[in-house]
Structure formats: structure tokens, C-alpha cells
Chains A and B, each alone.
Chain A
């Protein structure tokens, strides 16, 4: 009896240790607060990185944790962006209301799309997600009366936060706002992924047959996570709309879905922070190289992708953790 308890407590302590906040994690968020004071002139760029990171985190839920490859995740980002934009352009200026509306709209879309994903193999799924993304792009493109088409949605006016802080030109309010929302959503994701539900998702990714055999309701889990990820992508889209006060049609483009996938891969999947790190690296290099010549950037990105898939499959964070493992192993050998 006591043996069993000891065993159980060992498992529990393993899970607890996983759940505990590590110093590097705290440093990461403190660093983001520091950015506000150290780089006050590039806060607009910094909040764009955070938004992309949040968007990548939402993709990480379905790709990294549940193992669904999608090429159309921008669909939900775009739905959120347009919902928030249309709400603000039609008299509902409160930012939180906009986030709520965007989340709900994207969530409903995600819920219905998730049923389309339960059919067919990987390639069929890929095509369906790609098709939904392209379809929405076409809708936004042709419904010029509502979305402004290729010119983008104009006249988005965002009200003051809590009726107190207005969004300024330097993006100070916007950065704090984005940082707070991103942190809250991150906390939610983190606790969800450390819960039994998160473990169930991982087991689906690792082996569907066995996951089913130990009683995990696969399709229900996938529907849930796809909806939640869509809500989060929608909120990220709404944040982009609110901080830039504009909606361009590129929020729905294939390029955005593909870039997002690349960002997540660069950062590392199923690591929570991979999306943020990848977004920072990707957007920084893109900013620098695109200034030289946009073709250089695309060429470089292509080469990077090829090299990464061939040699560095776990991304930047994966590379770091392997390095840490290697160092740890050496230490253990030195002190037997």
C-alpha cells in the first residue's frame, strides 16, 4: 500500500516539477516587460512580434501538441481581424468587446471546420485547410462592400482602454495591452497543456491507435483543441487590427499561413515558447533582409527551410535543449 503511494507520489512529483515555473520562463516575461523601457522607439514592431508569437502559439496547440498539419490557420486570424475591424468601424469602439467578438466568431468557424478535419489522411486534411483559407481570401476579396477588398478595411477607430488610455502613435499603450493579453492567453495555454487534457493530446499525436485503446476520445479532443486554437488565432488577429487600426487582406493570405508554419518550426514545436522565439527571429531577419531586397529574403527563407528539415528538425529551442542535455550528461559523467 505504502509502496503504491510512494510510486504515485513519484509520478506526481514529476508532473509537479514539469508544471513549476522555471527561471528561464520568468526571465522571458521579465525581458518582455524590459523591452518597454529599453526600446521605446520600436514598440510598434515589438507588439507585432508578440501578436505573431501569440498566433504561432495557437498553431502550436494543434500542430505541436495535437499533430494536425494545417496550411490554412490564417483563416481564423483573418476572421478575428475582420470581425474586430468591422465592429470598430460600425460604432463598437471598445477594444475588449472587439476581442470578445473576434474570439467568438473565430471559435464558431473553428468548431465547424474541425468536423471537416476528422476525415481522410494527412494530405486530405492539408488540402481542406488550404481550401478553407483560400476560400475565405476569395470571399474577402470579392465582398469589397464590407471588407474593402484589396485596399483593406479603412476607418477602424479603437476607443480608449478602460475609457482611460488611448492608443498612441508610438504604440506604448498598444504594447502593454498586447503583452497583457498575450500573457493571459499564455497562462491559459500553459495550464491547459499541463493538465490531463494536454497529456491526452500528446498521446494522440504520438499514437492514435494506442490513445484510443486507453480510452481517449480522439475526435472530441481534436474538436476542442481546434476550436480553442481558432479562438486564440482570432484574438491575435483582433489585436493586430486594434494596434494598427487597419485590416489588410493579407491577414487571410496563404503566405501568412505558410510563414506562421515556418515561424513555429524555426522556434520549435510543442515548447510553448517556440512560437514567440521563432516570431522574433523570423520578423527581425525579414525586416533586415527585405530592406536589402525582398527576393533575397525569400531565397534565404527557402534555403533555411530545406536545411532545417534536413538537419535541425526540432527548431531553435529544441537545439538549445539538446545542447543543455549534452552538457548535463557530461557533468553527470564527471561526477559519478
Chain B
């Protein structure tokens, strides 16, 4: 019973992390239909930035997080302007190739600069250790993670449902051409969303160094997970992404805990079955063109 709750807890924390990283991809994919496989690169950049800030510049864990968010968001804007922009109307094949190219460059670059090993991160003392709750040993860091994700989700939902900018995003996702004809500058909306999403991915990568690990192959290793969360959740849907992320997080941890001999088997089988049952995502809508 205890182990069951423990697996559930770990799985939810893991899923929460997947959600923070993937939600940006979900919205940009729903908005522009851009098949960006390189989203994990932003998460990886966030992780490396955090490690470097903490070890080289001596900045604390908490103050480093907003810096990471802003830096990755700014960096992604540069990439959007120079590379992504020219391929919005292009074929999926070209988009896939471009993002695979970005992954390769990022992997080789980090390998060259930081070396192939795992990067260590020092969690502040008040976050490390366990928290005893009704006989369950809950990791403080994972509790902290879940709290942050809950905050981010609330902020996102509020932002999307209650603000003017959120309304613009929703309008653009639903029907780009009509939104444009109403005077919404879709490309501007997209740029900001892209930066925001990439910043969140960077934040997720930074938060996840302790849970997911960090090495130059990060972007490839978790590529499937991020894409899976988005595709299963349905591109453009925040709730769908959250649901899919939590579901997959729990499934993956449970699979690794109860049937370790199957390895990553379960997540791939789950993915194929889910995609066959819901080709448009759990909560996704067919896009009206």
C-alpha cells in the first residue's frame, strides 16, 4: 500500500516536470503546426545554465531559476527569428530536419563544452531530505516541484482564460485566418508564445536536473516523452497536456518500479495504443482550416 502511494507520488512529480517542459511545445504546435523536435534542447539549455550559474557564478538555486527562465526565453527568440521563422509554411519533413539539425548541434556543443558526463546539482538544504507524512516518506524536493507546477498551471490557465493575450492565443489556435482577419497579429502572438514556452521548458529542465539527470544526450533521450505528452494530450490544449503528462509520468514510474525487466517497453506500447485510440489527442480538437 505504501509503495503504491509512493509510486503514485513519484509518478505525479515526474509527470508534473514533463508538463512544465512540454506545455510550451503543445501551445506552439497547436498555434503554428510546427513539428519542433528540438524542444528538449531548450530544457537542456535551462539545465546547463542552472548548473553553470550555481557552480561558476555562485548564484543560489532559487534566484537562478528566474534568470534561467528569462535567458532561455530570450535565446529562443533569437532562434525563432533566424531559423524557425522561414519554415512555418514549409513541409513537416523540412521542419523535422531543421529541428534534428538543432538537436545535433546542441548535443555536440554541450559535449564539447561540458563533457559527456552527468552534471551534478546541489539542492539547497531546506529542499533536500524527506518529509514524513502519515508514515510516507515524501521527498521535499518533489513536493516543491509539485507546488511550483501547480502555481505555473494556475498562472497559465488564468493567463489563457482571463487575459486579453490569452484570448488572442486561443483565437489563433482555433482559427488562424479568422484571427488574422480580426486584426490579431498572429505571428507576434506566436513569437511571444514561443518565447514563453521555451522559457518554461528551460525552467523545467533546470528543475529537473535532480530528477531526470542532465547529459548531452538529454534532448534525444527525452524527445519521445515530450512529443508523446503533446501528441497524446492534443496539441494546443493545456488541460490535455497536463492530463497526459501526469498519466504518462505515473505509468512510466510504475512500469519501472513493478516490472523493471521490461525497461522502457511500457511507455512505447502505451504510446502506440493511445495514439491509435485517440489520433487527435485525449482532449484535442480537430483543427478547422
A residues at B contact (CB < 8 Å):
63, 69, 71, 116, 119-124, 126-128, 130-132, 134-135, 138-139, 141-142, 254, 258, 261-262, 265, 295-296, 298-299, 301-306, 308-310, 313
Bound together, the chains give a CA A126 to CA B34 distance in angstroms of: 13
Contact A302 B101 (CB under 8 A): yes
Determine how close the nearest CB of chain B comes to the CB of A242; give it in whole angstroms: 29
Tell whether, in the assembled complex, residue A126 and residue B265 are in contact, meaning their CB atoms are under 8 Å apart.
Answer: no
Report the minimum CB–CB distance from A308 to chain B (whole Å): 7
A202 to chain B, nearest CB (A): 15
Is the C-beta of B258 less than 8 angstroms from some C-beta in chain A?
no
> Contacting A298 at CB < 8 Å: which of B108, B262, B269?
B108
- Give B residues with C-beta under 8 Å from A: 29, 35, 83, 86-87, 90, 92-94, 96-98, 100-109, 111-112, 220, 224, 227-228, 231, 235, 261-265, 268-269, 271-272, 275-276, 279-280
- CB-defined contacts of A305 to chain B, threshold 8 Å: 97-98, 100-101, 104
Nearest B residue to A139, CB-CB: B265
Q: A127-B231, A265-B97, A298-B107 are in contact. Are A306 and B275 (CB under 8 A)?
A: no
- Say whether, besides A120-B279, A128-B275, A301-B104, A306 and B98 are in contact (CB < 8 Å): yes
Contacts A71-B96, A126-B92, A306-B102; A119 near B276 (Cβ below 8 A): yes
Given A134-B264, A142-B261, A301-B104, the answer on whether A306 and B83 have CB atoms closer than 8 Å is: yes
Contact of A130 among B90, B101, B111, B224 (CB under 8 A): B224
**How close is A172's CB to chain B, nearest CB, in angstroms?**
36
Q: How far is the CB of A314 from chain B (nearest CB, A)?
A: 11
A142 and B96 alpha carbons, distance in the complex (Å): 30
Residues of B contacting A119 in the complex (Cβ-Cβ under 8 angstroms):
275-276, 279
- What's the nearest-Cβ distance from chain A to residue B25, in Å? 11
Known A130-B224, A299-B105; 15 more pairs at CB < 8 Å: A69-B92, A123-B35, A124-B279, A124-B280, A131-B268, A142-B261, A258-B100, A298-B107, A299-B108, A302-B103, A302-B107, A303-B101, A309-B87, A309-B94, A310-B98
Is B263 touching A142 in the complex (CB atoms < 8 A)? yes
Contact A116:B96 (CB < 8 A) given known A123-B235, A298-B104, A305-B101: no
Chain B residues contacting A308 (CB-CB under 8 Å) are 97
- The distance from the CB of B198 to the nearest CB of chain A, in whole angstroms, is 17
A123, A128, A138: the one within 8 Å of B265 (CB)? A138
Q: How many A-B residue pairs have CB under 8 A?
A: 125
Q: Nearest CB to that of B107 among chain A residues?
A: A298
A73 and B81 alpha carbons, distance in the complex (Å): 32
Instruction: Tell me if A309 and B275 are in contact (CB < 8 A).
Output: no
A141 cross-chain contacts in B, Cβ below 8 A: 263
Instruction: Please name 9 pairs of A and B residues whose Cβ atoms are closer than 8 Å in the assembled complex, sorted by A.
Output: A119-B275, A126-B92, A127-B228, A134-B224, A135-B268, A295-B111, A301-B101, A305-B100, A306-B102
Looking at the assembled complex, report how far the CB atom of A63 sits from the nearest CB atom of chain B, in whole angstroms.
Answer: 7
Closest chain-A Cβ to B90's Cβ sits at a distance in Å of 8
Question: Roughly how many angstroms separate A298 CA and B83 CA in the complex, as a whole number?
Answer: 19
Evaluate contact between B108 and A127: CB separation under 8 angstroms. Answer: no
CB contact under 8 A between A313 and B268, given known A120-B280, A258-B100: no
Which of A63, A123, A138, A261 contacts B231 (CB under 8 A)? A123
A122-B35, A127-B271, A305-B97 as given contacts; A254 in contact with B262, CB under 8 Å: no
A265 and chain B: residue at smallest CB distance: B97
Our pick among B35, B235, B263 for the contact of A126 (Cβ within 8 Å) is: B35
A139 to B111, CA, bound (A): 29
B96 touches A63 (CB 8 A): no
In Å, the complex CA distance between A251 and B52 comes to 37
A63-B100 contact, Cβ under 8 Å, with A124-B275, A298-B107:
no
CB distance from B199 to the nearest CB of A (A): 22
Across-interface contacts of A116 in B (CB, < 8 A) = 272, 276
Interfacial chain A residues near B269, Cβ < 8 Å: 135
Give, as a whole number of angstroms, the nearest-CB distance from B93 to chain A: 5
**Once the chains are docked, how many angstroms separate the CA of A22 from the CA of B104?**
38
Chain B residues with CB under 8 Å of A130's CB are 224, 227
How distant is A327 from chain B, measured CB to nearest CB, in Å?
27
Task: Assess whether A122 is in contact with B102, with CB atoms less than 8 Å apart.
Answer: no
B263 engages A138 (CB within 8 Å)? yes
Q: Please indicate the chain B residues that have their CB under 8 angstroms from the CB of A298 in the complex.
A: 104-105, 107-108, 111
For A309, what are the chain B residues with a Cβ–Cβ distance below 8 Å?
87, 90, 94, 97-98, 101
Nearest Cβ distance between residue B45 and chain A, in whole angstroms? 15
Q: Which partner residue on chain A sits nearest B103 by CB separation?
A: A302
- Structural contact, A303 and B105, CB atoms closer than 8 A: yes
Determine the distance from Cα of A302 to Cα of B83 in the docked complex, in whole angstroms: 13
CA distance A154 to B104 in the complex (A): 32
A127 touching B227, Cβ below 8 Å:
yes
Q: Which residues of the other chain, A, contact B228 by a CB distance below 8 angstroms?
A: 127
Q: Is the CB of B104 within 8 A of A302?
A: yes
Q: Name the distance in Å between B116's Cβ and chain A's nearest Cβ.
A: 9
Residues of B within 8 A of A299 (CB): 104-105, 108-109, 112
**Quick one: which of B97, B105, B227, B231 contacts A262, CB cutoff 8 A?**
B97
Q: Chain A residues near B262 (CB, 8 Å)?
A: 138, 142
Neighbouring B residues of A301 by C-beta, 8 Å: 101, 104
